[in-house]
Amino acid sequence: MTRILDVAITHAAKPAVIERLLDAYLEELLGAGHRDYPYLSRYWSEPDRHPFVILADRRTAGFALVRDVEPDVLHEMSEFYVVPALRRQGVGRRAATLLFERFGGRWQLQFAVANARARSFWRFVVPAATETPNPNVLVHTMTWIASNPSTGTRTPDVSR
């Protein structure tokens, strides 16, 4: 039987850990050679951006970048990553839930239509989310309320 990992999120005091994971994340989502992420340093200089490291059994398991679209009201899961070796063990689901609990409020995220895994994951974690295709770009937007992600509560659609 697979052992259940102890999952936690911790605010990243410095960029180093996330920087190390970001290359692999970008390469996986965008393909080889995509390493430019101009927003990262802003997570340590702007109060409406929140960088987190995901831990599993106290070891680094991934990262999450959260942005306040409206502080205390609407948050965006801007980036979310679990390292390949620790996938399909509930790490992503648990980490996302901890973030929803920590911030509360309404949430949104965008994912590429081509990223079927992301869609499947977020639909599993937030089954009640409203999903809106963006007609001119190949991304979908999901929105939901943190306190009630699985019971069918719907939020109005919001733009990024």
Ligand X SMILES: CC(C)(COP(=O)(O)OP(=O)(O)OC[C@H]1O[C@@H](n2cnc3c(N)ncnc32)[C@H](O)[C@@H]1OP(=O)(O)O)[C@@H](O)C(=O)NCCC(=O)NCCS
By CB under 6 A, name the binding residues for ligand X. Answer: 25, 28-29, 80-82, 87-93, 109, 111, 115, 117-118, 120-121, 124
Supply the Cα-derived Rg of the chain in whole angstroms: 15
**Residue whose CB is less far from ligand X, 82 or 129:** 82
Dihedral of alpha carbons 99, 100, 106, 107, sign: positive
**Residue 83: other Cβ atoms inside 10 A:** 17
Residue 95: which of 6, 8, 4, 22 has the closest Cα?
Answer: 8
**Residue whose CB is less far from ligand X, 47 or 64:** 64
Shortest reach from residue 133's CB to ligand X, in Å: 15
Closest-by-Cβ residue to ligand X is: 92
Shortest reach from residue 94's CB to ligand X, in Å: 7
**Residue whose CB is less far from ligand X, 45 or 60:** 60
What 3-state class would DSSP assign to 115? coil
Q: Can you point out the beta strands (E) in the chain?
A: 7-11, 49-56, 59-70, 74-82, 106-112, 130-133, 139-145
**Residue whose CB is less far from ligand X, 2 or 45:** 2
Shortest reach from residue 35's CB to ligand X, in Å: 15
**Residue whose CB is less far from ligand X, 93 or 102:** 93
Shortest reach from residue 144's CB to ligand X, in Å: 14
Shortest reach from residue 45's CB to ligand X, in Å: 24
Which two structure tokens, joined as six digits, stand for 53? 């490291």
Strand order in the sheet with 59-70: 7-11, 49-56, 59-70, 74-82, 106-112, 139-145, 130-133
